[in-house]
Amino acid sequence: MTDEIRVDLPKPYHDAVEHWQRHNFPDYPRLAEVWDKYFPRDQEFCLCARIQQGMPEVIEVGELVGKPKAKQPAHLDPEAAQILLGQIRAQASTEFGSIQQHTGTLHRAADPQDQAWALRVMAEELRHGYQMLHLLVSQDWSPVTDTKPADMVEEILGMQTGSHLLAAFNLEFDSFLDNVVFAAFIDRVGKYQLTMQKISAYQPYATSMPPMLKEEAFHLAAGVVPLRRWVEQAARGDALIDMAAIQKSCTKWFCRGLEMFGDDRSDSHGGEDSVRLGLKDMTNRQAQDAYIAEVTHMLDDLNTRYVRAKRPDLSRDDADALYARIVKTRSDEGGVGFADLLRLPDRRFFRRRGDGAFQMWGFDGERFDDVETYIKHVASHLPEAYRASVDVRHWADMLRKVHRNEVTLKDAIKSMPRLARVGGGCPCSNSVRWVNA
Amino acid sequence: MTAETRVRPVTELDLDAITRIDERITGRYRPEVWEQRVVYYIRRDPDAPKVAERDGTVVGFMLGEVRGGEFGLEEPTGWIEFFGVDPSARGGGIGRKLVDALLDHFRSRGAHVARTVVASRDAEIASFLKANGFTTAPLEALERTL
């Protein structure tokens, strides 16, 4: 019945991941305690690399279509090998990074099921990170990089919130709302990346994707299902959750999520090299367009549920028709405010990379001329706790400098705020060699 | 011209469509029930549960999975457990396409037999399944009032 094989990392690396877990994911053992209650009859969780069998063995897209897929880095086109190594490092960083983010607010979940679901999501992200390390240590990367496998692993396990490769993984969670919205928005970007990489010209990478995608499907549900309940509670006047709070969290994550696709400017050709070299089957912009359509559908689903709960006196069809009219006219009707509904900002709003980076595009696509007015506009759409963060301050400072010509746009785009941490990360998790010793 | 039917795995964004189809069939609106049911299948084998779409609208669903070891039946068995087709879309072969897709998935997961249970009052469902190759199984469904 199984169509995959499972592999452990060599012991020093396996131990390093477990060591990292003890310091960064101390709740991990609780998953086994709650498994039978929340995931009865599900296959037991395994911290291992899962390799799909029966995948295509010839390149599926790009200029080498039909040629055998590479089974070792040395067999790849050198340009493809460099891009691939970057993809694996970035993927690994996101997996470990998301656990560090979830950990901070996991305990604040009000519903035990929501918390158990988040816990499983975190454990599966740990497994995905483990899978990426397996790719780095199970093959010879010396033709591609001078960095030794142990050093690559050490670098990844040494990353903290604030030093990860992608901005979305350098933001701290403000509340459990972020755990859930993150799963709905950021894990969805992950789904797109994994789906695109399923056709990778590097066979070991392609065969890593299907098991990860299966787990990712649950992660999206762990985001959407609590949100479906929360919008209903908000509609009924629950004092503890409201649409404004959900909207602000959606805005926070959507903007960073768009940047995870890479350079998405329509004239930038972002991702075309990956397609040409057979590493992905969509360009950055194509994937991002599909993502935006999907999250639009998700918000429609949530808004529909909100309007139905707000107007329980209406039939479902009448409530859905009311929602459609409110969206069309952008005005209040029947006791439902347009402003209460969840919306996506313009794709160029509050961007630090790619399309609209450090340009002053408003939430609804309007243009701003004055920097301070724009900063106030952006801030008004962000969660209060996040607004006060070093992350937003860094963006505002960079925006001012770009518009005063003190910093070039290129340098501003490269710039990333570093979260100051007393003592940094766990010193022992910084070193695989330490575990060896 | 009839729109083409596309069958694909269920996602969390199909919850509302499935809930509405169930409501049109049973008259009951049960979003929480379907959330739990659909997430059960998504977390175990997200490629198994299927929906059928026409013009981008979900018009049918079929939920099931491969399990073994139940009721003394050790072999991997593809269990069909929930399905529904929007009443307004019936008669266009949607149910057959869903069955075909789910059975293909069961085969890919190593099952050589698919099973389901139909209440004797649901003659229409039994007729649909028999038209799709299902036959009466050498099993007996038993119950006892508690």
- Structural domain includes residue A413: no
Domain that holds residue B85: 8-131
Q: What is the pLDDT of residues A221-237, one digit of tens each?
A: 999 999 999 999 999 99
What CATH number should be reported for the domain holding residue A19?
1.10.620.20
Q: Quick check: B20 contacting A, CB < 8 Å?
A: yes
Within-domain flag for A202: yes
What is the distance in angstroms between the Cα of B46 and the nearest Cα belonging to chain A? 6
> Is A219 within the bounds of a domain?
yes
Contact check, Cβ <8 Å, A1/B109? yes
What's the CATH number where B109 sits?
Answer: 3.40.630.30
Determine, yes or no, domain membership for B63: yes
Question: What stretches in chain A show pLDDT beneath 70?
Answer: 1-2, 418-437
Residues on chain B touching A297 (C-beta within 8 angstroms): 13
Q: Do A1 and B68 touch (CB under 8 A)?
A: yes
Question: For B67-96, what is each residue's pLDDT tens digit?
Answer: 998 888 889 999 999 999 999 999 889 999
Chain A positions touching B111 (Cβ under 8 A) are: 1
- This complex has an ipTM of 0.93
| Chain B contact set for A44 (CB, 8 A) | none
**Structural domain total, chain B:** 1
Residue B61 has pLDDT above 50, yes or no: yes
Q: Is residue B145 one of the residues assigned to a domain?
A: no
Q: Which domain holds residue A214?
A: 4-302+423-436
pLDDT tens digits for range A161-202? 888 888 899 899 999 999 999 999 999 999 999 999 999 999
Contacts of A229 in chain B (CB under 8 A): 32
Question: What's the number of domains chain A is made of?
Answer: 1
Query: Is B94 a member of any domain?
Result: yes
Report if residue A30 sits inside a domain: yes
Answer yes or no: is A26 within a domain.
yes
- The pTM of this model reads 0.94
Q: Which letter does DSSP use for residue B75 in this model?
A: S
Q: Which residue of A has its CA nearest to B11?
A: A217
Residue A383 falls inside a structural domain: no
Can you give the pLDDT at residue A315? 95
**Is B142 inside a domain boundary?**
no
